[in-house]
Amino acid sequence: MITFWVSVLVLSILFYVLLDGFDLGVGILYGFARQDCARRAMMHAVAPVWDSNQTWLIVSGVTLWGAFPIVYATLFSAFYLPLIFMLAGLILRGVAFEFRNKAHHLPWVWDVGFSGGSLVAAFMQGTMVGALAQGLPLLNGNYAGNAFSWMNPLTTLCGAGLCLGYALLGACWLVRKSEGEVQAASFRLIPVLLLCTLVVLAVLFSVALDEHLRVLTRWLERPYLFAIPLVGLVAGIALALSVLRRREREPLYLVGTIFFVAFGMLVVSFWPYIIPFSVTVDEAAAPRSSLAFMFWGEGLFLLPLMLLYTTISYRVFRGKVSPSSDY
């Protein structure tokens, strides 16, 4: 049961990062678009699927709450402020979807809401990942830090890196979904964003190995693990080549591979700890009876329905979008 719920948690987080990552990335890039027709095309490229993408965040939260309550309580205590900011950003961009094309006065307010909300949500997610990877101060199983312990130079770099990564995902999505100048601009942005993202990943990986000797020992004792970042490097080279050849489909899959590799490196570095070097998966798991009870709801019905719902959504809303279309 523990293995099953760990798998559900990993998959739901990965689905959220990949799916909501590209529409947050489009929102970040939206702030740099100057023409109204380009902004409309960018918003319409994610409008039909953005709400279903965010549902995976709820699945992750519910899984933590039910299957790993200790982790849920600790993370909410440690990340109270960044979670509030993240949710505020997500709410603001959700409202902007509905108001931007209907507002006759001050549409720039909703432009700022859409782009700013996306940027804040992405940055806060990155800082929380960075703070979690650094390790949380715990005393007798309780969070012992203050309200701002999550903020430091390394977590700030993590936040900026995730913003760059999401922007890269968003540019690859726009290549697939848009045409004309929006697509051309996205093709031009991908190599720059790719280089910046890989540099930040390399820096963060090096710092993690340097600060956490246990992580460094794990990688040195198992040299075959270095094949994981090598796969990401190969995917990055393939992504650059696909952009040079003006491929429309391949970039999204290749950048997804890079994110999958980065997530895999994080898991491999800290397994079996769910809170690095403080709480293991077995220690955090709820009683077996609770895990079994949850299986009949979320495990047996909700997760398959979510996968079906997501598949149907992307099937129905496939194809290109135009600035004049309205979801």
pTM of the model: 0.90
Tokens of 153: 């130079």
pLDDT of residue 100: 78
Instruction: Average the pLDDT over 162-170 and give the result.
Output: 93
Q: Are 140 and 79 in contact (CB under 8 A)?
A: no
pLDDT at residue 184 is higher than 80: yes
Distances (CA, A) of 253 to 25, 43, 164, 256, 267: 15, 21, 17, 5, 21
Between residues 210 and 70, which one has the greater pLDDT?
70
Distances (CA, A) of 117 to 27, 92, 122: 8, 6, 9
Q: Is 106 exposed, middle or buried (0-12, 13-18, 19+ CB in 10 A)?
A: exposed
Between residues 231 and 136, which one has the greater pLDDT?
231
pLDDT at residue 77 is higher than 80: yes
- Helix 153-177 crosses helix 2-30 at what angle (to 10 degrees)? 70
pLDDT at residue 73 is higher than 60: yes
pLDDT at residue 215 is higher than 80: no
CATH superfamily of this structure's domain 11-316: Formate dehydrogenase/DMSO reductase domain (1.20.1630.10)
Residue 279: helix, strand or coil by DSSP?
Answer: strand
Query: What are the boundaries of each domain within the chain?
Result: 11-316
Helix (H) or strand (E) holding 325: none
pLDDT at residue 126 is higher than 70: yes
275: phi then psi, degrees, rounded to nearest 5: -115, 110
Instruction: Average the pLDDT over 82-101 and give the result.
Output: 88
**Model confidence over 216-260: pLDDT tens digits?**
777 777 777 778 888 888 988 999 898 888 888 889 999 999 889
pLDDT at residue 206 is higher than 80: no
273: phi then psi, degrees, rounded to nearest 5: -80, 135
pLDDT of residue 209: 66
What mean pLDDT value characterizes the chain? 85
Q: How many CA atoms lie within 13 A of 45 on its CB side?
A: 31
pLDDT of residue 3: 86
pLDDT of residue 324: 60
Helix (H) or strand (E) holding 143: strand 142-143
Q: Measure the CA angle with vertex 260, ends 168 and 280; round to 5°.
A: 130
**Model confidence over 137-165: pLDDT tens digits?**
887 777 787 888 888 888 898 899 999 99
**CB atoms closer than 10 angstroms to residue 135:** 15
